[in-house]
Structure 1
Amino acid sequence: MIEGKIIKFYREKAGLTQGQLVKGICSVTHLSKIERGITEYSEEITQLLAKKLNINPQVEITRYHNLSKKLERWHDAMIMQNLQKSEALKNELEQDELIQLQEFNVYYQLLNVRYYLSKHQLAQAHGIIQYLQKAETTLSSHDGNMLKHVRGIYYFLSGQFQECVDVLISIDQQQYNRLEYFYHLAIAYHSINSPVRAYYYADKALRYFRKTLNMLRIIDTEMVMLIQLNSNEPHDFNETIDTYEKLLQMCDTCNAVERKSKLYHNLAFEYSRRKQYQEAADLYQEALKLIDEHSPHYLTTLDRYIFSCYAGNLLSKELLIEKAQKGMKIAQAAKSKEWIYFQLHLYLLNQEEENYYQFIEHTALLFFKKMGYIILIDHYEKKLFHYLYEKGEVEKALELANSLIQTKHNPYDHD
C-alpha cells in the first residue's frame, strides 16, 4: 500500500525509529505491518502518523503516481531522442526526493544509464551497470530485461559488438515491451557483418517505431536496412538513390541535421564503392558541412573523404596531407582511436611504404580485430598479404592465407 511506503520513507528521512513515531498512536508491530503493506489500517491512524511526520498523505500519494508517470515519460523521451525534453524531465526527477523510494530507484538508475549512454559518457554508465548487476537476481522481470538492454547499448558504444548481440538476444520480449532493442540488435549484427540478421531485426524495429510514431528512429532504421541491401553486392543504384533522397527529405521535415549528415555519408559510400569518387567526395563534403568537428561522426566522414579524394586523384597530395594532419590532431585531442585511420593516410601519402605496412601489421589490424571491424580486417589483411608475398616473406604471407581464402569483393578496395 502506497501510504505505508510513504510513511516509512519520511520516517527514515526524519531519522525516527518505529517506536518514536508510533508513541501515543499505535503499536510498533502495527506500524511495521502498515509500512510493509500487509495489514488494513484506519485513515485516522495514517493521518496521525502523517501529522507527526509533517506530511499530507493525499499530496504525497499524488506525487507518487506523478513520479511513476514522469519516469515513463523520461524513458519515452530518450527513445524518441527528444534531448530537450529528456534534460527537463531529468532535472525535475532529481528535485523529487521520492525518487529514493526503493521501487523507483532501480528504474531511475537504469534510466540514468540510458541518459549517460546518450551522452557517450561510458564510464558513468558502466559504473551504474556494475552496481545494478550485483543485485540482478533481485530485479523485477522488466528491470532485469532493461538492464540487459542498457548493457547491450553500452557494449555497442564501446565496440564490443558480439557481446552486444549475446546480451540483447537473451531479452525476454514477453516481459519487456520496449522493442527499441531490436534496433540495437540490428546495428550490432551489422557491425559483425551479418546483414541478413541485421535486416531482419531492423525490420522488426521499424514496425515498432512506426507504431509509436517515432519519426527520427524510422529514419535511423530505414538507413540501416538500406545499408544491408547494399552490404554484399550493390543493390539497384537508382532505387538506392531514390530511397536516400526520400530519407533526406524526412530529415528536412524533422530538422534532423545530424541524421542528414549520416545519410550523405552513406550515400557517398555507395558512390565510392562504385568508384564514382567525384560524386562521393562531393557528398562527403556536404556531410562535413552539417556536423561540428567534435561530433563522433566527423572523423569517420573526414577519413572517407580523404580516401575518395586519394582514390579519385581529386586533390593534391599536399592538400590531402593537410586534411589527414587535421584529422590526426582532432582524434588525438579527443583521445579517439580514429587517429589510426589518419596515420594510415599520412604514411600512404608520404610514400612511406615500409612504415605503412608495419603500422598495418602491428597496430591497425590489432585494433580492427579488437573492435570486430570485419570489412577493414579483410581489406588490410589482403593488402598486407600482397605486400609480404611480393617482398618474398612467403611464410608470413601464408599466415594470412586462411582468412583470405573466403574473401569476397570489398567496398574499400580501389586499387
Structure 2
Amino acid sequence: MLEGEIIKFYRKKAGLTQEQLGKDICTATHVSRIERGETRYSSEIIELFSQRLQIDIENEIAVVQNIEKKLHKWHTSIILERMKEVDKIKNELECIQYISASNFATLYQLLLARYYLLKQIKEKAYDILVQIRKDTPAMSSYERNLYYHVNGLYYLAQYIRLENENRQKALQELKKINIEQYGNPEYYYHLGLAYHWTQSKVMAYFYAEKAFRYFKKTNNYARAILAESMMLVQLEGSTQLDFEDIVENYENLIDHSEALGLTDKKGMILHNLGWMYFRRRDYKNAHLYYEKAVKEANRKSLPFLNRLYNYLDNAEEGNILSSKMILKHANEGLALSKKATNDLYQVLFSLLIFRVSSTTDEYFLYIEETALPFFRSHHHVTHASKYGKLLFNYFVKNKQYEKAVETGDIFINVP
C-alpha cells in the first residue's frame, strides 16, 4: 500500500532500521510487512510512524497521488515550450523527495533528460540516458517510447556538427516509436527533422506536414512555424511550387514569427531563405537574408557561428564584401569558435581566412593536411565532399596525378 512505501522511503532517509522505527510501537517483522503492503494495519500505527519520522503522512499521500498528473503536465509544457511553466513545474517536482523511489522514477528521469535537452544542457541529458541504459529498468510502453524519443532528440541535438553517424542514430531511435502506444504526435516533427538531415526529402516533408497539422490543431503556433519552415526547405528544387511562391511562404512565416515575438524562429527562417537563394547562386538576395539572420542570433550560440560562416562564405563567393571586411568577421568567428571549443567552425573559419588572405598553395595545403582529414574523421560528409573535389581539381591542374587519384578516392568514398 502507498502508506507503507512512503514509510519505507522516509525510514531509510532517516537512517533507521525497521526495529528502530517500530520500537515501542510494533515488531520489526510487522514494520517489514507494512512496508511491503502484506498486512493490514491501524491508522494509529501509521500516525506513530509519521510522528517518529517527522512527516505529515496525509500530505505525503496527496503529493504522491499527484505526481503522475504533474509529470504529464510538465511534458505538455515542454512540448509547448512554455519555459516559465516548465521551470516552475521542475522546481515543484524537485521538492517531492519521494519521487525517486516511486513508480514514476523512470518517467521523471526521462522528462528531466528532455528538460536538459530543451535547455541545451546536453551533457546532463546524456548522463541520465546512460544511467537508464545501465540500470535497464522495466518500463511501461509509454516510457519505452518516450525513451526512444529522448534518445532521438539527443542525437538531433548534435546536428550542428553535421555528423552522419548522429543523423542515422537519431533516425533509428525515432523510427522505433509506436505512436499508438506513445500518443504524442509531436515526435513527427523530430522524425521529419531526422529524415531532413539524412537528405530524405519526401519522408521529411511527409512527417513535417503531419507535425504541422498537429501543432496547428493544438494552437502551438511557434512549433507550427518550425514545421512549415521544414516543409518549405524540402520543396527547394522541386516543381511543386514556383520559387516565387516558396519565397512568399517564407516571408509570411517571417512575419508570423515577428508578430509572435519568436526571435529565434525568425532568425532560423531568414537563414533558411538565405540558403535557398545561395543554392540558386543568387548571392545578392542570399546576402540580405543571411545578414538579417546573423543579427537575430545570440553571439554566444552555435547558430550564430553557423549563420556568420554562411554569410561570409556567400559574400566571398558572390564578391559582395571586401576582403578586408570578410577577414575581419572571419577572425571574429574564429575567436568565438575557439572560445566555444568548436573544432568544426575553427576549421571552417580558418579555411575562409586562408582562401581570402593566403596564396593558393597555402590554401590547398591547409585543405590537404588539416581540413579534409578533420572532415573525414568526424564524418562531415558535405564538407569532405566539397573540399575533396576542390583539392582533386587543384592536384590535376598542377599535374600531381598520384595525389589526385588518392584524393578522388577519398571524396568518392566519403564515409
* TM-score, L = length of structure 2: 0.88
Partner of 1:279: 285
2: distance between equivalents of 1:161 and 1:306? 26
Residue 66 of structure 2 aligns to a residue whose secondary structure is helix
Partner of 1:84: 84
2: distance between equivalents of 1:99 and 1:166? 31
| Aligned-partner residue type, residue 153 of structure 2 | I
| Aligned-partner residue type, residue 263 of structure 2 | V
1: distance between equivalents of 2:200 and 2:368? 25
1:289 equivalenced with 2:295 (yes/no): yes
Q: 1:261 to 1:363 in 2, by over 3 A?
A: same
Displacement of 1:320:
1.0
**Identity of aligned pairs, percent?**
38
Partner of 1:222: 228
Residue 138 of structure 1 aligns to a residue whose secondary structure is coil
| Aligned-partner residue type, residue 393 of structure 1 | Q
Displacement of 1:191:
1.8
Displacement of 1:251:
0.9
Partner of 2:204: 198
Displacement of 1:257:
0.2
Partner of 2:104: 104
User: Which consecutive unaligned segments of at least 5 residues does structure 2 have?
Assistant: none
2: distance between equivalents of 1:367 and 1:39? 65
Partner of 2:150: 150
Q: 1:37 to 1:181 in 2, by over 3 A?
A: farther
The CA deviation string for residues 27-80 of structure 1, in whole angstroms up to 9 with x for no partner, is 544443432335554444434433443333322121113333222222222222
Partner of 1:63: 63
The CA deviation string for residues 352-387 of structure 1, in whole angstroms up to 9 with x for no partner, is 322322333343334444554443333222222211
Report if aligned partners of 1:129, 1:151 keep a CA contact under 8 Å in 2.
yes
Partner of 1:411: none
2: distance between equivalents of 1:223 and 1:381? 31
The CA deviation string for residues 310-349 of structure 1, in whole angstroms up to 9 with x for no partner, is 1221111111111111111111111112121111111110
Report if aligned partners of 1:317, 1:349 keep a CA contact under 8 Å in 2.
yes
Q: 1:231 to 1:17 in 2, by over 3 A?
A: farther
1: distance between equivalents of 2:385 and 2:180? 39
Matched ranges for 1:114-263 at <5 A:
114-158=114-158, 159=163, 160-230=166-236, 236-263=242-269
Report if aligned partners of 1:136, 1:144 keep a CA contact under 8 Å in 2.
no
Matched ranges for 1:21-60 at <5 A:
21-60=21-60
* TM-score, L = length of structure 1: 0.88
- Aligned alpha-carbon RMSD (Å): 2.7
Report if aligned partners of 2:309, 2:348 keep a CA contact under 8 Å in 1.
yes
Number of residue pairs the alignment of both structures matches? 407
Report if aligned partners of 2:388, 2:408 keep a CA contact under 8 Å in 1.
no
| Aligned-partner residue type, residue 120 of structure 1 | Q
1: distance between equivalents of 2:369 and 2:215? 43
Q: Which moved more, 1:85-94 or 1:249-258?
A: 85-94
Q: Which moved more, 1:30-39 or 1:98-107?
A: 30-39
The CA deviation string for residues 185-229 of structure 1, in whole angstroms up to 9 with x for no partner, is 222222222222222332333333234332221111111121111
Partner of 1:355: 362
Q: Which moved more, 1:392-401 or 1:126-135?
A: 392-401
Partner of 2:95: 95
1: distance between equivalents of 2:330 and 2:56? 65
Partner of 1:10: 10
Report if aligned partners of 1:161, 1:372 keep a CA contact under 8 Å in 2.
no
1: distance between equivalents of 2:370 and 2:130? 31
Partner of 1:19: 19
2: distance between equivalents of 1:293 and 1:376? 24
Report if aligned partners of 1:21, 1:52 keep a CA contact under 8 Å in 2.
yes
2: distance between equivalents of 1:176 and 1:33? 36
Report if aligned partners of 2:113, 2:128 keep a CA contact under 8 Å in 1.
yes
Report if aligned partners of 1:203, 1:225 keep a CA contact under 8 Å in 2.
yes
Displacement of 1:16:
2.4
1: distance between equivalents of 2:194 and 2:149? 12
